[in-house]
Chain A
């Protein structure tokens, strides 16, 4: 078959072509590897492109197809965020402290993808240890936004979002602790899904804030995200927080929103006073579309989630991070300082040299919040507020099927715009953070473009374990939204 424009094919289309033997997985691997090498110098989406692994896996996929197997992700290239272990590849977390670390075991999510016939194209750039909202905190330089190379791709999973948006790969894995899948998906004009906490195994994901971290898909469309989630979800005995829940892997088919109750969170609603006019207009147009398709849309008030989620998150996430990141001490693996004359100096200097400034900032905040005398005022208080936020969501879901907000208060911003103001960077995630605290599924999908031709993301939030329903709603919106086809790099 004609191999031109293979990068424009969806994961579903590629899998059909390979299963029906119209093309070899090896040829797909060669095509996407060539494209990744051509465009990566411009975009910096990948920390490493895994040529040998991709070709080896593709060859094995072709052998399985030749034997008559039918694989859900046959020959589909995957970009993997560089905080997930893929055996034999470097897993750097975009940190100097793990610059040369090679994984000795496989994450459950990636193993499931390879079993389903996908192959690893490369490991993608991120804000160091997934802490950030622009990918500028990477130790290996920022990733660029494919829509405008002067703009950030969002973060922390900026490399994965960029890879799918620029059609370097049809699917990518991201991790979302406070918005790290949804916000970059919004900035890059693609679909990004944060599943219910516990639906996807975290085994093999480098821990940042364990009670909030969740792995999820980036895709060009909802059907591809649905396909990827059906492969990576499911119980895993290697993750003690993994739920015993079977995700329904049927194709998506919802045709309208008749009977659907949609809540618009009043306090998070953007208006001309706090957001750009085109952003406000696009979100309002999206609300109108929901109504046209039969949904009943009402405003609701969520005072605690909207006002206090960010304060709550910036205690809990750094506290968990300070504990999780204590394992990097220069003794066993990672960076060891040359100033390691004593054990104490080895710890302090290896960590100080190896971690970047945002990671150190959060370790200090987290250590402070957990230290004697401050624990009750900060950590315990934040956990109490977390319960109130969670309960506020559960109460709202007694009345509504889905909640709607903009994914981010802005479209992609310029490099450097928020680098000297950590608090301004944190405020980027005000629309996404409440969802992680409550463990809910939420998706970002493109709903239009602003006056600079930058993508705008719509966030939809569902009750726990309603990931399928969420995808159905997002897919129906996607099919009816006339946002225009995002242009390709």
Chain B
């Protein structure tokens, strides 16, 4: 499989990245070289193989009970907004208008 200029534009949009005409030309050659290598995957017979999503040796721990532990609650995010927020008003993040 290979990526065309239109594909790159579409994927960049999905990824919320602005790419210039010049970027697209560079990406087209770089990414196709990488994808060409990655396509070796198709040589492996994976019929009937269950996908593996994690390296965890025991997936049991992922199905633990959801118990609220008050002592583990962190409010630092809310309490420290002013330390890192780009722009805020009262206790809210301020962003530009939605439309153009």
**Are A211 and B54 within 8 A (Cβ)?**
yes
Of the candidates B15, B84, B99, the one whose C-beta lies within 8 Å of that of A363 is B15
* A183 CB to nearest B CB, Å: 19
Interface: A2 (CB within 8 A): no
**Are A238 and B46 within 8 A (Cβ)?**
no
- Measured as residues with beta carbon below 8 angstroms from the partner, the interface class of chain A is 35 or more
Interface: B70 (CB within 8 A): no
Known contacts: A104-B80, A374-B1. The answer to whether A322 contacts B55 by CB under 8 A is: no
Known contacts: A346-B95, A347-B16, A365-B31. The answer to whether A198 contacts B41 by CB under 8 A is: no
**Are A333 and B15 within 8 A (Cβ)?**
no
Assembled-state Cα–Cα distance A342/B95 (Å): 8
**Are B30 and A308 within 8 A (Cβ)?**
no
**Are A311 and B41 within 8 A (Cβ)?**
yes
Known contacts: A240-B62, A243-B61. The answer to whether A333 contacts B86 by CB under 8 A is: yes
Assembled-state Cα–Cα distance A46/B28 (Å): 35
Of the candidates B33, B57, B97, the one whose C-beta lies within 8 Å of that of A198 is B57
**Are B30 and A368 within 8 A (Cβ)?**
no
Known contacts: A212-B55, A312-B41. The answer to whether A371 contacts B11 by CB under 8 A is: yes
Which residues 1-54 of B have a CB within 8 angstroms of A?
1, 3, 7-8, 11-12, 14-19, 27, 30-31, 33-35, 37-44, 46, 49-54
Residues in A with CB closer than 8 Å to B11 are: 364, 367-368, 371
Which residues 55-83 of B have a CB within 8 angstroms of A?
55-58, 61-62, 64, 69, 72, 74, 76-77, 79-80, 83
Assembled-state Cα–Cα distance A109/B40 (Å): 38
Residues in A with CB closer than 8 Å to B8 are: 364
Assembled-state Cα–Cα distance A200/B10 (Å): 39
Assembled-state Cα–Cα distance A355/B17 (Å): 9
Nearest residue (CB) in A for B40 is A311
Per-residue CB contact flags for chain A residues 118-146 toward chain B (1 = under 8 Å, else 0) read 00000000000000000000000000000
Residues in B with CB closer than 8 Å to A371 are: 11, 14
Per-residue CB contact flags for chain A residues 220-256 toward chain B (1 = under 8 Å, else 0) read 0000000000000000011011111000000000000
Known contacts: A105-B76, A352-B19. The answer to whether A314 contacts B55 by CB under 8 A is: no
Known contacts: A311-B37, A390-B55. The answer to whether A348 contacts B96 by CB under 8 A is: no
Known contacts: A326-B16, A371-B11. The answer to whether A384 contacts B51 by CB under 8 A is: yes
**Are A383 and B1 within 8 A (Cβ)?**
no
Known contacts: A311-B38, A363-B17. The answer to whether A422 contacts B30 by CB under 8 A is: yes
Residues in A with CB closer than 8 Å to B43 are: 308
* B78 CB to nearest A CB, Å: 10
**Are A383 and B53 within 8 A (Cβ)?**
yes
Residues in A with CB closer than 8 Å to B39 are: 311
**Are B96 and A341 within 8 A (Cβ)?**
yes
Residues in B with CB closer than 8 Å to A377 are: 1, 42
Residues in A with CB closer than 8 Å to B44 are: 304, 308, 381, 384-385, 388
Per-residue CB contact flags for chain A residues 276-293 toward chain B (1 = under 8 Å, else 0) read 000000000000000000
Residues in B with CB closer than 8 Å to A178 are: none
Nearest residue (CB) in B for A363 is B15
Assembled-state Cα–Cα distance A436/B93 (Å): 38
Of the candidates A101, A211, A352, A385, the one whose C-beta lies within 8 Å of that of B84 is A101
Of the candidates A211, A332, A464, the one whose C-beta lies within 8 Å of that of B53 is A211
**Are B93 and A331 within 8 A (Cβ)?**
yes
Assembled-state Cα–Cα distance A310/B8 (Å): 23
Assembled-state Cα–Cα distance A51/B16 (Å): 38
**Are A307 and B40 within 8 A (Cβ)?**
yes
Residues in B with CB closer than 8 Å to A360 are: 17
Assembled-state Cα–Cα distance A266/B8 (Å): 39
**Are B37 and A102 within 8 A (Cβ)?**
no
Interface size on B, residues (CB 8 A): 59
Assembled-state Cα–Cα distance A465/B56 (Å): 11
Assembled-state Cα–Cα distance A101/B77 (Å): 13
Assembled-state Cα–Cα distance A260/B69 (Å): 45
* A347 CB to nearest B CB, Å: 5
**Are B55 and A439 within 8 A (Cβ)?**
yes
Nearest residue (CB) in B for A310 is B37
Of the candidates A326, A341, A352, A380, the one whose C-beta lies within 8 Å of that of B51 is A380
Of the candidates B18, B27, B37, B62, the one whose C-beta lies within 8 Å of that of A241 is B62
Interface: A324 (CB within 8 A): no
Known contacts: A238-B72, A342-B97, A346-B95. The answer to whether A336 contacts B86 by CB under 8 A is: yes
The CB with the most chain B CB atoms within 10 A, among A105, A342, A385, A387, is that of A385
Nearest residue (CB) in A for B67 is A237
**Are A387 and B52 within 8 A (Cβ)?**
yes
Assembled-state Cα–Cα distance A312/B55 (Å): 14
Interface: A115 (CB within 8 A): no
**Are B34 and A314 within 8 A (Cβ)?**
yes
Residues in A with CB closer than 8 Å to B52 are: 383-384, 386-387, 390
A interface residues with partner B (beta carbon < 8 Å): 100-102, 104-105, 196-198, 211-212, 237-238, 240-244, 304, 307-308, 310-312, 314-315, 322, 326, 329-334, 336, 340-349, 351-352, 355, 360-361, 363-365, 367-368, 371, 374, 377-378, 380-388, 390, 422-423, 426, 436-440, 464-465
- Residue contacts A-B, CB under 8 angstroms, 24 given: A104-B76, A197-B55, A198-B61, A237-B72, A244-B61, A304-B44, A308-B41, A311-B40, A322-B15, A329-B16, A330-B86, A331-B86, A351-B17, A352-B17, A363-B17, A364-B17, A377-B42, A381-B41, A382-B41, A385-B46, A387-B51, A422-B33, A426-B37, A464-B57
